[in-house]
Amino acid sequence: MQFGVVLQCDPPAARTVQLAKLAEAHGFSHLWTFDSHVLWQEPYVLYSQILHETKRIMVGPMVTNPATRDWTVTASLYATLNEAYGNRTICGIGRGDSAVRVGGGKPTTLRTLRESIHVIRELANSRPVDYAGTTVQFPWSVGSALDIWVAAYGPKALALTGEVADGFILQLADLDIAEWMIGAVREAAAAAGRDPDAITICVAAPMYIGTDSAHMREQCRWFGGMVGNHVADIVARYGDDGRVPRALTEYIAGREGYDYNQHGRAGNTHAEFVSDDIVERFCVLGTPEEHIAKLRKLADLGVDQFAGYLQHDNKEETLRVYGETIIPQLRQHITATKVTA
């Protein structure tokens, strides 16, 4: 299992770079950031500095979208960073949430998302592509390599992920929901003639090391509010027809609006509807032993990477415990499981 860290690009920029360096030092393979240019600093500028000051860690957004940048601009950003730092970028992408909604916009359609993935992938992999009726290629790009992982929740988005994505980003760590969604992606991949096991599965959720359960829940309750934005869209589209697990839809019954200026922040007043049970199911909280137990269960479901959000007041300690205890033990467990299988 790989391990990633998810950061917001809050100023000062040097702090984001510092945490990225610390994540690499503690054995994390991926550094992800929010990509919401109004709420936070521009991530691609920071990626350049992070790549310059690290040696191995991969960088990318969790997640970008097809609406806020021209697709050729997005592809050029990746291809440029890859040329400069040796293919250490990855693209997480979805229909768009805070980046578009904070300005009154709406998420793109799945058709637009599918088309954008194709254009970005071809250009960022140094290949030509048809774009708006014209064949486009970066004449300066040679040997760039970019995987595209899609963030999805609803049935149609999960199907698209299975059909076209290199990886699947599931932004919650509930075991039952994860099993259903991973299964849906793999079924779609098989139906499209792809190898389901070739799709990398990434679960992303807040990780907090501690023993004060009430405090940890309050620090991470915002996450249930963020997920609720996507679930509300799904419920509006599908209703209660059984295509979406009730465990995913029932918890938003008390949801009333959302202020994107508080998006992804501890103390978000628009996450009060999120119950303690949901926080614990969606996140990975507690002692190192509790983290290891839940991550083992996720690994058994086929999860290839756990990416932990650090939007709380215990960043350095959480990174330290992961680096010294959790990552080594999980890798030892997974290696032993493969040997005995």
* Interval 177-215: pLDDT, tens: 999 999 999 999 999 999 999 999 999 999 999 999 999
pLDDT at 242: 64
- Asked if the model's pLDDT at residue 258 lies above 60, the reply is no
- Give 223's contacts (C-beta < 8 A, 6+ positions apart): 172, 205, 206, 271, 279, 282, 283, 309, 311
* Interval 224-246: pLDDT, tens: 888 876 676 777 677 666 666 77
* Interval 13-32: pLDDT, tens: 999 999 999 999 999 999 99
Which among 167, 214, 224, 207 is positioned nearest to 287, based on CA atoms?
207
| Region label for 152, one of left (φ > 0), alpha (ψ between -120 and 50) or beta (otherwise) | beta
Average pLDDT for 255-281: 74
Q: Where are the alpha helices (DSSP H) in the chain?
A: 13-25, 43-53, 71-85, 98-101, 110-124, 155-164, 175-191, 213-238, 246-249, 276-282, 288-300, 315-321, 327-340
> Sign (positive/negative) of CA torsion 224, 228, 229, 234?
positive
C-alpha to C-alpha distances, 171 to 88, 105, 193, 336, nearest whole angstrom = 22, 22, 26, 28
Is the pTM for the entire model greater than 0.75?
yes
Which among 90, 2, 6 is positioned nearest to 303, based on CA atoms?
2
pLDDT at 263: 62
Q: How is 150-162 classified by DSSP, letter by letter? A: EE--SHHHHHHHH
Strand partners, 92: 149
Average pLDDT for 25-43: 95
> How many other C-beta atoms can be found within 10 angstroms of the C-beta atom of residue 276?
13
pLDDT at 216: 97
Greater model confidence, 248 or 174: 174
Average pLDDT for 265-280: 81
* Interval 63-75: pLDDT, tens: 999 999 999 999 9
Q: How is 252-266 classified by DSSP, letter by letter? A: GTT-----GGGTT-T
pLDDT, mean over the chain: 91
* Interval 91-134: pLDDT, tens: 999 998 778 877 888 889 999 999 999 999 999 999 999 999 99
Above pLDDT 90, what percent of the chain?
76
Residues 125 and 181: their CA atoms lie apart, in Å, by: 28
| Region label for 302, one of left (φ > 0), alpha (ψ between -120 and 50) or beta (otherwise) | left
